[in-house]
Structure 1
Amino acid sequence: MKTAIIFSSTHGTTEKASQLLREHLQGEVDVIDLKKCSNLSLSGYNSIILGSSIYAGSVKSKLKQFVKQNQIDLATKKLGLFLCCMYEGDKANKQFETAYPLELRKLSVSNGLFGGEFILSNLNFLERKIIKMIDGVTSDVTKLDLDGIKKFADKFNAYTA
């Protein structure tokens, strides 16, 4: 069993979540950053996990493009989907629904909302101002859901064992 965690991240939180997730998955796992890999073949993988952050209200364009180009192949794999975002509850669920096409959400054996982070040193001046204005954040905030990552992995492992 070979799994690929394929992600797109703006400031590193989704990459961090992908690495944490890898630690809980069974079998051989590759973690692939879409920024660094342009021609990715899914043929060597039995299962695929897709992850992205929300940036300026939208899922990363590299992930959108990857999903669009590979939707038929993705439908033939064991699939997991996750999202890193600062919202919780209904707002987070709405972002998840917007991030991934319904067809993939229906096929996914494990879905996750892993929380998010505002690491101010990773943000540019304008981003810091916007976050302060919208969310009132003036220092680093970490809401990464480690328990949620483990639960996602446990459910995914149960389907791919």
Structure 2
Amino acid sequence: MKTLIIYSSSHGTTEKAAQILSEQLQGEVELINLKRLSNPKLTNYDSVIIGSSIYAGSAKSRVKQFLKQNQPELLSKGLGLFLCCMFEGDKALSQFETTYSKELRNHSRANGLFGGEFLISKMNFLERQIVKKVAGVTSDVSQLNLNEIRLFAEKFNQANPC
């Protein structure tokens, strides 16, 4: 089985989560950052996993554009969806539902909320000021949930055996 993980990341958290996930999946796995390749071809892959971060309250525009352009083909593949965000519970679930259409969520074999990070050290001045005001955070904070990534990989592997 050949799986493609497509993601977009502002400061590297979603990229980190995608890399950790890729190491736990069965079969051949390739990662593509939509910053570098905005519309990769899906024809050579059995499965596709899409990941986004929440930035300024919304999913990355590159991910939203990719989903819009490729939804019919995504619905013909084994699919997994994940989101990196600092919210938990209902608020995180609401962001997930806003990012991914109901049709994609229902088709997906594994859905994940992987937590997130505020990487103050990688933010510009304006970003730091916003995070300080909104979240009260003034230094790097990681809430990346490695257990959720592992559970997602297990579920995805069971649904997509090699």
Name the structure 2 match of 1:101. 101
Match of 1:136 in 2: 136
1:23 is aligned to 2:23: yes
Unaligned residue ranges in structure 2 (runs of 5+): none
Give the conservation status (yes or no) of the 8 Å contact 2:83–2:114.
yes
TM-score w.r.t. the length of structure 1 is: 0.99
Name 2:79's counterpart in structure 1. Answer: 79
1:110 aligned partner: 110
Per-residue deviation, 1:119: 1.1
Q: Secondary structure at the match of 1:24?
A: coil
State the partner residue of 2:157: 157
Q: Identity, % of aligned pairs?
A: 63
- Look up the SS of the partner of 1:82 in the other structure: strand
Considering only aligned residues, what root-mean-square deviation do their CA atoms show, in Å?
A: 0.6
Q: 1:75 to 1:121 in 2, by over 3 A?
A: same
Paired with 1:52 and 1:39, the residues of 2 have a C-alpha distance of 15
Give the corresponding residue for 1:70: 70
Deviation of 1:38 after TM superposition, in Å, equals: 2.8
Aligned to 2:37: 37
Contact (CA 8 Å) 2:114, 2:145: kept in 1 or not? yes
Q: Which amino acid letter does the alignment assign opposite residue 35 of structure 1?
A: K
Structure 1 runs not aligned, ≥5 long: none
Query: Match of 1:153, as an amino acid?
Result: A
